[in-house]
Chains A and B, each alone.
Chain A
Amino acid sequence: MTNDSIKAFLTHYIVGLKERTRNEASGPKWGIDWVIYNLGQTLYGKPVRLPFVRQQQSDETKIKSEAEFGVDVSFLSSDKQTLTIFVLKDEVLTNKSWVSQGFHEDMAKAIAPDMEAAGLEDVNQVEVILAYNKDEHANGIELFDRFASSAPNRLADRADLSLKRWNLSDLVDLTLEHLLTPALLPQKFFGQLNYLCSQFADFPHGSDPWEQQLIPGWQRFVEDALADEHGPRGPALLPIALIILREHAKDNPTVQTGWIDLLEWASIAMWRRFLTSDDPKTRQHIHGFWISFYIVELDRFYTEHIDALATDNAIDSIGASSMVGAVASSMVAYWHIGRLGLLSLGCWENMADESPDQKAEKTQKLRSIASHLIRLHNANESAFRPILDIHHIETTLLMIALSNVGRHQDFGSIALNLVQRLYPRRLGYGELPFLDGGNSLSAVFEQVAENNESELITTKSSYFVVVLMELVCVLEPSQRDDLLKSIHRRLVLGAMDEGPSGELSPLNLFSWVPPNDWQEQVLKGYSTLGTAVSRGPLSDNIDATAEELFGELKQFVELMRKTNNPELHLTVPVSALILASMRRQTPLPPELWRISAFPNSDEEQTPTTVEDQGPEPTG
């Protein structure tokens, strides 16, 4: 993450804070007093005056009702010689607000502290800082400067007085420099985030404690932050929490992918909040987070690491000591394929393309991601080794990413390689089982590790294979036909390339109809939703022609459209919904690709005419 983008999110967070942290009827309000309290402790020493009462049992502070005399917060240095006084404002500093919002009044009171108060006997330096988290106008600054020059130089004949002003930029810079810690967040979240930070620093991404402790803890944290009562400040707080987490775990070797993992769970929760929020600000924040945080971070991540991922056998080398490692490396490969696919789709959805320059930039970005995908496939066999049926999502994203830049043929080549490598697994050769329909990675691991004769993975049905067949229908008939025949004969019927069909039972193909409220459901994470539509093989004939198979498939699609075609009314970007599907292991609605493969007669196929000159898949 760049410094500028961190600053941007930090500014966004700080600008949204009130002057004081307090509970209001509409919910708790977070104030800059908490930020200043923590900054002051770091920079100036012990607090002398606080605007709130720190409580032991509660995660909220209690506001003080006593008179302030202009002083919001003050600190005494460790040698007891310097007193630092803060005057806090959550207003824009203007000519008008200088008086109307009490800038002048509070400053006037603040420069006359009670120097005889207990503990201040040794003070010989008094610094009064006006800190405000909103913008400023030149007249406002002018008024402050005049006030400063007219203020006395000494107090009680023993202390020099100086005045300072911290505007929003100063606050952001100082926070960035001194307070990128859980203490930056409201006290309510401090403990939670602090604990998460230590877990993130210790647990490797994907390890058991990561999955069993950190992720549930993070999900709870995100839910708490996004609670209705926090309004748009919740979505603004999450990026800050993520930035702090990342800062704390920088020595964890898995920090980069782990951070994306946390980011994704936060994104899913945000989009869920999006659906329930009527507040345009909140919804805007969520959109901004998705584009400027998640998509941008994915882009930065792959720009930085694609060379490593596209080095020969780099992913394949994960756990290379046994066949168990082959499963693990495939999971990692599909993790990256999925993210690259999301990145491509995210860019396709969100990048502007009104002007020729914008269009060129967008095309360039999409081409570059497609190249990343091809390079990754060329370098790693594990990219051709889907393990679970749910990996149809990554395969679909791959097709979309390549099709969006006109690289249909390359998708055809990859699909061909995929079929070639799935074929021996379908026949039961080797130690790797066929795609697990139950999507149980632990079952796959157990079977490969034990290499038992009694198989744990006994896939009889497949959505992945149907998806693959439908995806190859985006190809030109010259490429599509052989692939369709090959998929059907080899994977569906499990027949040898030559001779009779053999002893394997055909796969039961099935498709899936999402519920009308798919986007709500998938974001909530219900794993059993929608309706499975079962059908046998497209044909019992191992020598069925491509025309016959395509005809059957088309008929099946049309029948599904006619009898059960839900109206999805998507308000959340498809890329975000696909991310939720990936994380929740729920299938993708077939219409997401059927729109290209089997366009309705009244709809036009998505134009995908961008020519590309990237690398070709070698497989």
Chain B
Amino acid sequence: MLPAEFQESHPTVARVLAAMVAGEELPERLVNTDRKAVQTELDASQQAEIPWSPISKYIWEEVGGSLERFMTVSTQAYAYLGVGESVRCFMAQLWSSVSQSWTPPERKTFLRQIVDAETRNRFEALDFAFLLFREVSLESSFVIVWLRDLQAIGGGDLSHRGLDRCLENYAEFNQSECVKVLRELSPVPPSDRIKSLLASMLHWMRQADDKEKPNQDLIDLETELRRSSRPHCREIFLDSWAWDATNGKLTEQQALEFREEFIEESDCDTPQLKCWSHLLVLAMNHHSAWGWVYRELRSLVKRSLGESVRQQVAYATLAGWEGADANSPVGQNEWENLFFSLHPIAKTEAQIWGRLEGFMAENLQAHPTQLEKFIVRQAETSGDSWRRLFAGVRDPFSHFSMSLVEAGRGNVVTTLCLSPIRDARRVGLQLFNTCGLESLDQDIISQATAEQLELIILELACEIRPPALVARIHASLAECALAFGGVVSELYLEEVATEGNNTHTYREELKLRIKDCPKVLEVLQKVEDGLDNTIAATKSPALQMRVPGHHRAEQLSHRRMARQINISAEKYSIFASFVTTVQVLYSHEWQSLLPDGTLSPPSQMTKHSTSMEFPRLETLTPQTIQIRRLAANARIEELDQSEDASS
């Protein structure tokens, strides 16, 4: 039984822990409530006050003294207690306490079980193992094999906070063995992740080293790595200092020495340059270093940098922008200019785009004015890649779009739509869609010139866009476009007719939004009359003939379309990304074999479908549409060129 005092001080933790050990299922309703209580109890108490010995004794007895059972129970902790740092510390402490009674081989066996566990359990176990690496004396030979196996079984992926914490403890409390690990692993070119781990371990050892009595083995190892003829050894050394830069322990002078020593003038995308840029990024943590870091980054961007280095620079500059204030040695503008000197950012630079989205979304509330300018500048300099990113991605820039709406900054979309730069206009139209805006900002539209309106109408004509979106934008433009008269008005009404001919959705959406605009309503009425005539005409006996081979080709085409839909459904489905897809044959009901050897109850298949209206003119008059787009593109080019010339 759990000690009474523990049950008294941590009633929920004790109850849930007991249920977890006993394998009881907690009702779902209780789980959420209990998790909050667990969090509160663990947060409130100093874990040192917990009577670990009787608790560990109780649990060890409950699992029948089985290492396997203990591992299995432990890896249920997140499910029962919830996920959080306090739970991690609690479980780590528990492991530490239980392991006191084990023999050294038992401890190693237990650690081996982490490697052999299922992926999800393995990550959870790693989260709880960090104290073992402090308290258990593990030989380098064991750790090397453990690490290699861990890497092999994880498909090379060693990026995990729990593992970092384990190795940090190992480096700090088993320094001499840790040095051996580095000596053993560094001569052979390791993988990037192992290299990074080794650099971190070197950094952790350096941090833990007693300044009064420095570890000679460590000093020798550092010297060997620094002077090694093997480039990857030097990278490990340089990268280890990058981590030191995080703590501000790296001086400008040291950094410059490293640069002189490791970086060639011609380096653009070498691993050393990557380490150097990494070092600069981490040095950004200290405002005092900004001066020289900014200077170094500026000189760096003059080179034709590789993708990973550009990524580091982008991270650094965005971090600078976010962290800059009136007292900063480098201001927001300077960081912004430095960031934009990297532009254009390619579509393939996914990491930069990901960071950028987060950056823009998170800073909209705090710095709305600056961010609006930033967004426009971003669209005008890298709009081509940005707009392409919208295609082929499920919910592209949804976080950013949501933030734009939440911050009430939808007007920036209108600004983008009226931009003199074409790519920015296209980004604006994409954002209008992803933000789900109802209309363009009428204040901004009322200030627009005839050319700006013409350009946005033409942009809409250049691509297939959701008909409801086109209708919403057309509705927002109606008043101004018709007020201008002349070319804009004619173009506008022509586009209304074309889109009206294209989809029913467009007509209905536009009619909903334009109730007092007779000209537009008249055009829509004409379109509908025309469609009625066409439908009547298609029933003519002169048009009932078949074309030999048409039916077969139609079937082929439909099969191809079905294949494409399947592929894209799998590509974009959230479920398909983490759930195994099973093709069910011959039935509309299914059962499956459960891990416990029983069959699940029968389930009915459910049907989910979605449909969209395909613009009819795309297949009805494909060439006219193609020519219309070519003409629109040509006119846009003409207008853009005249804009360039006048500016």
Interface residues in chain A, defined as those with a beta carbon under 8 Å from any beta carbon in chain B:
204-208, 210-211, 253-258, 301, 305, 307-309, 311-328, 331-332, 335-336, 381, 384-385, 420-421, 424-425, 429-432, 441-442, 445-446, 448-451
Contact = CB atoms under 8 A, between A and B. Distances in A.
B538 A381 contact: no
Interface of B: 530, 533-538, 540-554, 556-558, 560-561, 614, 616, 619-624, 626-627, 630
B557 A318 contact: no
Given A313-B534, A449-B556, 17 more contacts: A204-B544, A205-B545, A211-B548, A312-B533, A313-B620, A315-B543, A316-B620, A317-B538, A322-B554, A328-B547, A331-B550, A424-B627, A430-B626, A442-B548, A448-B553, A449-B553, A449-B557
Interface residue SS majority, chain A: helix
A498 to B, nearest CB: 11
A316 to B, nearest CB: 5
B534 A312 contact: yes
Contacts, number: 162
17 contacts: A205-B544, A206-B546, A210-B546, A256-B541, A256-B542, A257-B545, A305-B540, A307-B537, A311-B536, A317-B620, A320-B616, A324-B556, A325-B554, A325-B619, A381-B621, A421-B627, A449-B556
A258 B547 CA distance: 12
A432 B622 contact: yes
Contacts of B545: 204-206, 254, 257-258, 332, 335
B558 A322 contact: yes
B561 A322 contact: yes
Contacts of B544: 204-205, 253-254, 256-257
Contacts of A327: 547, 550, 553
Nearest to B540: A308
Given A257-B544, A308-B542, A441-B549, A421 B623 contact: yes
A210 B533 CA distance: 30
Given A318-B543, A448-B553, A323 B538 contact: no
Contacts of B548: 206-208, 211, 441-442
Nearest to A323: B619
A207 B533 contact: no
B557 A381 contact: no
A45 B561 CA distance: 61
Most chain A Cβ neighbours within 10 Å, of B538, B541, B547, B552: B547
Contact of B530 (A210, A312, A336): A312
Most chain A Cβ neighbours within 10 Å, of B545, B627, B630: B545
B24 to A, nearest CB: 58
Nearest to B557: A449
B543 A332 contact: yes
Nearest to A384: B623
Most chain A Cβ neighbours within 10 Å, of B543, B554, B561, B626: B543
Contacts of B620: 313, 316-317, 320, 326, 381
A495 to B, nearest CB: 16
A322 B619 contact: yes
B544 to A, nearest CB: 4
A378 to B, nearest CB: 12
A305 B163 CA distance: 80
A258 B326 CA distance: 85
A237 to B, nearest CB: 26
Contacts of B543: 308-309, 314-315, 317-318, 332
Nearest to B621: A381
Contacts of B626: 424, 429-430
Nearest to B622: A326
A422 to B, nearest CB: 9
Contacts of B530: 312
Contacts of A325: 550, 554, 619
Contact of A445 (B537, B540, B550, B630): B550
Most chain B Cβ neighbours within 10 Å, of A253, A318, A336: A318
A254 B546 CA distance: 8
A486 B202 CA distance: 72
Contacts of A420: 627
Most chain B Cβ neighbours within 10 Å, of A308, A312, A326, A336: A308
Given A381-B620, A441-B548, A324 B541 contact: no
A322 B615 CA distance: 11
B185 to A, nearest CB: 46
A315 to B, nearest CB: 7
B107 to A, nearest CB: 59
A533 B503 CA distance: 49
Contacts of A315: 543
A314 B537 contact: yes
Most chain A Cβ neighbours within 10 Å, of B534, B554, B561, B622: B622
Going nearest first, the 6 A-B pairs with the smallest beta carbon separation are A308-B540, A206-B546, A445-B553, A311-B537, A314-B537, A449-B556
Contacts of B621: 313, 316, 381
A209 to B, nearest CB: 10
A305 B554 contact: no
Nearest to B614: A321
B483 to A, nearest CB: 29
A317 B550 contact: no
Contacts of B537: 307-309, 311, 314
B82 to A, nearest CB: 51
B622 A253 contact: no
Contacts of A448: 553, 557
B534 A311 contact: yes
Given A421-B627, A449-B554, A305 B619 contact: no
A255 B547 contact: no
Contacts of A421: 623, 627
B501 to A, nearest CB: 8
Given A301-B542, A322-B561, A421-B623, A311 B551 contact: no
A324 B542 contact: no
Contacts of A445: 549-550, 552-553, 556
A324 B546 contact: no
A324 B558 CA distance: 10
B193 to A, nearest CB: 38
Nearest to B624: A381
Given A381-B621, A446-B556, A205 B546 contact: yes
Contacts of A449: 553-554, 556-557, 560
Contact of B541 (A208, A254, A332): A254
B622 A430 contact: yes
B534 A305 contact: no
A314 B533 CA distance: 9
B533 A324 contact: no
Contacts of B533: 311-312
B61 to A, nearest CB: 67
Contacts of A308: 536-538, 540, 542-543
